[in-house]
C-alpha cells in the first residue's frame, strides 16, 4: 500500500513543489471530479483536506461522507445542515442548493489552497462574514504562485451564476492544456 498524505502537506517547508507539480495536483482532482460528475455524484465537501497524495505525487479525492447521488444534478439540504462555508458558493450559503456547479466552486477554492501552499480560505473572516461577503461578490485574491491563466481558471469557478461555471470535464481539459504549455 502506498503512503498517502493530505494535500496540506504543501505547508511542509522542506517540500517546495514546482508550478508544474501544483498544476498536476489540480489536474488530478479535476479528472477525479469529472468522473464523479459523469456518474451523477455531488461531493459537497471538496477541499484540500479531503484529498490524498500518494508517493508518486498523484492526488486522489477522498471523504465521501457528504456526497450524494442525484438524478437531476441538484440536491437541497434541510435547514440547519452543516456544510463547509469557506468552500461554498452563494446558492449554498443562501439556499442550501448543491449541484455539480457548487463542487466546481469548491474546486476553485481547492486550487487556491494548492497555490497558496495550504492557506485557509478567507482566513480573517468568520462564517457569518463569509456568507455576507461572498454573497456581495467577495472572491479570494490571486495567490503569488498562480499566474493570470491559473487565476482565471479559479475565477471561472466562482461565477455568481452556477450555470456560467465550467464543468469538470471542461476544467480537466483546460488544466491539461495549460500543463502542456508549461512543460
pLDDT in tens, 131-159: 999 999 999 999 999 999 999 999 999 99
pLDDT for position 147: 96
* Entry pTM: 0.91
CA 98 to chain centre: 14
Closest among 29, 64, 60, 24 to 157, alpha carbons compared: 29
pLDDT for the residue 3: 47
In a domain, 179, yes or no: no
Does residue 93 belong to any structural domain of this protein? yes
- Residue 108 resides in a domain: yes
The mean per-residue pLDDT over the stretch 61-80 comes to: 72
- Alpha-carbon distance of 176 to 31, in angstroms, equals 10
Does the residue 110 lie in any domain? Answer: yes
From 7-11, 27-31, 166-170, the region with the lowest mean pLDDT? 7-11
Range of the domain at 51: 5-168
177 is catalytic: no
Structure confidence at residue 1 (pLDDT): 36
Q: Is the model more confident about 96 or about 170? A: 170
Q: What tens digit of pLDDT does each residue of 83-93 get?
A: 899 999 999 99
Q: Which pLDDT value is given to residue 2?
A: 44
Instruction: Return the CATH number at 19.
Output: 1.10.510.10
The verdict on residue 173 lying in a domain is no
Considering 6, 28, 45, 177, which one is annotated as catalytic?
45
> In 3-state terms, the chain is what percent helix, strand and coil (to 5)?
50, 10, 40
Q: What total number of domains does the chain contain?
A: 1
Residues in CB range of 136: below 8 A, 6 or more apart:
none
Cβ atoms 146, 110 nearer than 8 A: no
> Beta strands of the chain (E only): which ranges?
5-6, 41-42, 51-53, 59-61, 68-69, 75-76, 97-98
Query: 6, 1, 16, 182: which is closest to 110 by C-alpha?
Result: 6
The pLDDT score that the predictor gives to residue 13 is 53
Task: Give the confidence band of 56 by pLDDT, cuts at 50, 70, 90.
Answer: confident
Which grid coordinates belong to 49?
483536506
Question: For residues 18 and 139, what is the distance between their CA atoms, to the nearest angstrom?
Answer: 25
Amino acid at each position: 500500500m502506498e503512503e498517502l498524505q493530505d494535500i496540506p502537506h504543501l505547508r511542509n517547508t522542506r517540500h517546495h513543489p514546482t508550478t508544474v507539480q501544483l498544476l498536476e495536483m489540480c489536474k488530478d482532482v479535476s479528472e477525479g471530479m469529472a468522473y464523479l460528475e459523469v456518474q451523477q455524484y455531488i461531493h459537497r465537501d471538496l477541499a484540500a483536506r479531503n484529498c490524498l497524495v500518494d508517493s508518486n505525487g498523484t492526488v486522489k479525492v477522498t471523504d465521501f461522507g457528504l456526497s450524494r447521488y442525484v438524478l437531476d444534478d441538484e440536491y437541497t439540504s434541510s435547514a440547519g445542515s452543516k456544510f463547509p462555508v469557506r468552500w461554498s458558493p452563494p446558492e449554498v450559503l443562501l439556499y442550501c442548493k448543491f449541484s455539480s456547479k457548487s463542487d466546481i466552486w469548491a474546486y476553485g477554492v481547492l486550487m487556491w489552497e494548492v497555490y497558496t501552499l495550504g492557506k485557509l480560505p478567507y482566513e480573517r473572516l468568520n462564517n457569518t462574514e463569509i456568507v455576507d461577503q461572498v454573497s456581495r461578490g467577495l472572491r479570494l485574491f490571486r495567490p503569488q504562485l498562480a499566474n493570470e491563466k491559473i487565476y482565471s481558471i479559479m475565477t471561472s469557478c466562482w461565477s455568481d451564476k452556477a450555470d456560467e461555471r465550467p464543468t469538470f470535464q471542461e476544467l480537466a481539459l483546460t488544466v491539461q492544456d495549460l500543463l502542456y504549455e508549461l512543460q
